[in-house]
Amino acid sequence: MSYVISCIDGASRNTAVCDYSAWAAKQLAAPVMLLHVLDELKSQAETELSGNIGLGTREHLLEQLAELDAQRAKLALEHGHVLLQLADEKLKKLGVGEVTQRQRHGELAENLLALEGDVRLAVLGLHGEASANQLNQVGSQLETVIRTVHRPLLLTPDTFSEPRSAMLAFDGSKTTEKGVEMLAQSPLFNGMPVHVVMVDADTANNWEKLKWAEKVLSEGGHEVHVALRAGDVEATLHQYQTEHDIDLMVMGAFGHSRIRQFLVGSTTMAMLKESRTPTLVLR
């Protein structure tokens, strides 16, 4: 079964993650799997105790440290169950009919990779627990997830606003052509106007590619707007999004074109840091 995977942690931003997960689940007519990942507790390095501290005291301290680690692990597990239950209740209040809960150990990226066969869409907050109070910082695991997971990722801002329009950053490559076809066919975008924006030279070849995208999306029942602009990719896309009050950015990850290159490394993270609207990343 294919799920909308809703990735939650202890950050207050999980309210928006649940809201966007509920919205996506209803658009896609898909169940939700709530996923909470417990980071493995780092083993305590054995401290070198010398001088006047005797062996018995050293062993006693190590025993206390081991007990504290066990208590932390138990509390983290219980805390995770509470988070999952609260998110479950919220999703059901939002009208999601089928919700399952899963708590796992390890890294978020490796767990999502293990679940890929069940993932239709993964929903993650742009801000994790470590960056919960810093609007211009993104979650520390986010870039690893983008590089690792081969399923669509919906990266959410801190507050929810139902998407009513979408914009595809388009470069005419095979990857973004697949993105056009996915937008045309996916119920996630039902009823939305779609803007297809290319940041490149004003050439007949580029306009031909945009006209193809316009045709495919129009046949899919969308109101379509195409644009070809010059300039810095990041700034130009943000400017267009602001000018047209677009709710949802759609981008392909990785490759060699100007748009996909900027998704790798610092430029990607810089754009996500400035984002106040959800971004759908396609692989």
pLDDT digits (tens, 9 = 90+) for 74-85: 887 888 899 999
Residue closest to 264 by CA, chosen among 172, 147, 150: 147
Task: Assess whether pLDDT exceeds 50 at residue 48.
Answer: no
Mean pLDDT value of segment 52-57 = 58
Write out pLDDT tens, residues 6-22.
Answer: 999 876 556 799 999 99
Identify the band that residue 53 occupies on the pLDDT scale cut at 50, 70 and 90: low
Report the predicted TM-score, pTM, of the whole model to 2 decimal places: 0.82
Tokens of 151: 């399923």
Beta bridge partners of 252: 282
C-alpha span between 146 and 29 (Å, rounded): 25
Fold of 3-41+75-156: Rossmann fold (3.40.50)
Q: Flag whether pLDDT at 50 surpasses 60.
A: no
pLDDT at res. 217: 96
Better pLDDT: 253 or 71: 71
CATH match for 166-282 among 3.40.50.970, 1.20.200.10, 3.40.50.620, 3.40.1350.10: 3.40.50.620
Question: How many other C-beta atoms lie within 10 A of the C-beta of residue 113?
Answer: 15
Q: In one letter, which amino acid is 105?
A: H
Q: What is the mean pLDDT of the chain?
A: 83
Domain ranges of the chain: 3-41+75-156, 166-282
Give the pLDDT confidence of 215-228 residue by residue, as tens digits. Answer: 999 999 999 999 99
Structure tokens at 183: 């937008």
| 3-41+75-156 matches 166-282 in fold | yes
Q: Are 234 and 262 in contact (CB under 8 A)?
A: yes
User: What digits encode the pLDDT tens for the residues 120-153?
Assistant: 999 999 875 544 444 444 556 787 888 888 899 9
**In terms of pLDDT, which residue wins out, 193 or 1?**
193
Please give the average per-residue pLDDT across 164-186, as a whole number. 90
Residues β-bridged to residue 34: 6, 101
- Find out whether 17 and 124 touch, Cβ atoms under 8 Å: yes
pLDDT, residue 234, reads: 83
* Confidence (pLDDT) at 32: 97
Mean pLDDT of 84-106: 94
Confidence (pLDDT) at 55:
57
Q: What pLDDT was estimated at residue 140? A: 61
